[in-house]
Structure 1
Amino acid sequence: MRIVTAQELESWLTSGKVLEKDARGPKVVALDNGLFLKIFHTRQYPWLARLQPAAKRFERNAHLLKQLGIASPSIEETFWLDPGRGLSGCIYSPLPGIALEQVYSDCPQRFNELLPRLAEFIKHLHGKRVYFRSLHLGNILLLPDERFGLIDFLDMKRNLLPLNAWQIQRNFKHLENYLGRKKLEGFPLRELLKLYEEQH
């Protein structure tokens, strides 16, 4: 991967719009050309992050999802921002759509209509042996063609064996915790679980 200069990064940050950030700095930036910059602030030891760059893992997961027929962002380039600290990034073309969290907040009735298809989508992911621990309403998008797509899937992996009951339960527990943090009261989680169990 090439190393992005400090001037190039500064240009992106100055001309773009920060969409997501944390205490360590910007994480997602909308660039003026319509593409997005994603910055991976590693929590690993720098030497480990250099061996397994987060940007490359993100790119591999995007390709895997596409191979499985699941919509995901198209990665244009991956690069180093600070190799010494294991800081990597990528430029990608964002998926057109809105997060299910926004659908639920703006129009609960519309979301309830989508609930059976959401259960089917999660079941499909699990059936493809995709374990996406951080699966929640913020990283599932409703696309213009009414399909679902995934974003922010760095921690996703594909198991060699089918997902076990503990992994499936953990997936839904993470969703429950997410709903609590976001104070999305009244979410039909039990109904979603019931619909999931009814899938074949």
Structure 2
Amino acid sequence: MNSPSMISQKAYQHTITNGEAIGMKHGHPAIVIHPDSTVSKVWAKKPKLFSSSRFKPYAHRFVQNAKLLAERDVIVPTILDFQQVDGESIHVVRYKMLDGTSIRDLLATQPDQVNLERLAEYFYSLHEKGILFKAIHFGNVIQISDNHFGLIDFTSTKFFSGKIPLIRRAANLSTPLRYKEDTSKLQTSGVQEFIDLYLNCYNEREKDRQRLNKILNSLSPV
């Protein structure tokens, strides 16, 4: 599924009206949740001359990253369709929803159901696999069960041939901890506990653990 199939304007209108539209970007819904629990994610070309999407549309990145993440044993939605509106710079990717709840929603409603230890281990495993998920906030991480997590909205993801360097890990790890609507709902000392649990994943790599902790403290994410 490297290239999109072409659909008519009429078919596109049917897609975006057949379900609950959420968010608007450039006059188009950002996503549409359909009655069959599938999701259509829409990308419309930005109304400016120069954009990185001009050379590699975001929809292409989304589809490609889904494949690359799955190859590294990361749970992501199953892509069903990749389409482009005929004669328009509008792309649509339809996929199956992950069966779970975002960490953000769990923190808002059932914070005691968030398995912080497993979540920290999950972040660590992504970095060990060379995956830098740039949109790594708790709304984009789905808790499928106590021991499994999945990613959504992974358009901006960078893949390394080896493990993520410590300085990049620290910056990436501090990103979700800047969202006060999430961290404020963690239990008392939950943010520091999350960081400590991540650092504990280093086990015998004490020197790396100390270096990363020093970098995190210098960034002051919370």
What is the TM-score with the length of structure 1 in the denominator? Answer: 0.86
What is the RMSD computed on CA atoms of the aligned residues? Answer: 2.3
| Structure 2 Cα separation of the partners of residues 170 and 41 of structure 1 | 30
User: In the alignment, is the contact (CA less than 8 A) between 1:4 and 1:81 conserved in 2?
Assistant: yes
Q: Are the structure 2 counterparts of residues 87 and 15 from structure 1 closer, same or farther at C-alpha, using a change threshold of 3 Å? A: closer
Find the residue that maps to 2:76 and give its secondary structure. Answer: coil
Note the residue ranges of structure 2 that are not aligned, 5 or more in a row.
Answer: 203-222
User: In the alignment, is the contact (CA less than 8 A) between 1:40 and 1:55 conserved in 2?
Assistant: yes
Aligned equivalent of 2:192, options 187, 190, 193: 190
Paired position in structure 1 for 2:56: 52
Paired position in structure 2 for 1:169: 170
| Structure 2 Cα separation of the partners of residues 11 and 41 of structure 1 | 16
CA drift at 1:10: 1.1
| Structure 1 Cα separation of the partners of residues 122 and 196 of structure 2 | 14
Amino acid at match of 1:190: Q
CA drift at 1:183: 6.1
Note the residue ranges of structure 1 that are not aligned, 5 or more in a row.
Answer: none
Amino acid at match of 2:184: E
CA drift at 1:174: 1.7
CA drift at 1:46: 6.9
Amino acid at match of 1:148: F
Question: Does structure 1 residue 96 correspond to structure 2 residue 99?
Answer: yes
Question: Does structure 1 residue 107 correspond to structure 2 residue 110?
Answer: yes
Paired position in structure 2 for 1:4: 7
Aligned equivalent of 1:80, options 80, 84, 97: 84
What is the TM-score with the length of structure 2 in the denominator? Answer: 0.78
Number of matched pairs:
194
| Structure 1 Cα separation of the partners of residues 196 and 99 of structure 2 | 30
Q: C-alpha offsets along residues 115-172 of structure 1, whole Å, 9 cap, x if unaligned?
A: 0100100000000000011111101111157411111100012113432223112212
Question: Does structure 1 residue 39 correspond to structure 2 residue 42?
Answer: yes
User: In the alignment, is the contact (CA less than 8 A) between 1:40 and 1:87 conserved in 2?
Assistant: yes
Q: 127-136 or 9-18: which moved more?
A: 9-18
Question: Does structure 1 residue 148 correspond to structure 2 residue 149?
Answer: yes
Find the residue that maps to 2:175 and give its secondary structure. Answer: helix
User: In the alignment, is the contact (CA less than 8 A) between 2:128 and 2:163 conserved in 1?
Assistant: yes
Q: Are the structure 2 counterparts of residues 104 and 88 from structure 1 closer, same or farther at C-alpha, using a change threshold of 3 Å? A: same
Q: C-alpha offsets along residues 8-27 of structure 1, whole Å, 9 cap, x if unaligned?
A: 11111222111x31353311
Q: C-alpha offsets along residues 85-122 of structure 1, whole Å, 9 cap, x if unaligned?
A: x43221111111110111111122222xx001001000
Paired position in structure 2 for 1:125: 126
Q: 38-47 or 139-148: which moved more?
A: 38-47
| Structure 2 Cα separation of the partners of residues 82 and 116 of structure 1 | 47
User: In the alignment, is the contact (CA less than 8 A) between 2:133 and 2:158 conserved in 1?
Assistant: yes
| Structure 2 Cα separation of the partners of residues 89 and 108 of structure 1 | 34
| Structure 1 Cα separation of the partners of residues 141 and 60 of structure 2 | 21
CA drift at 1:75: 0.6
- The percentage of counterpart residues that share the same residue type is 23
| Structure 1 Cα separation of the partners of residues 59 and 176 of structure 2 | 25
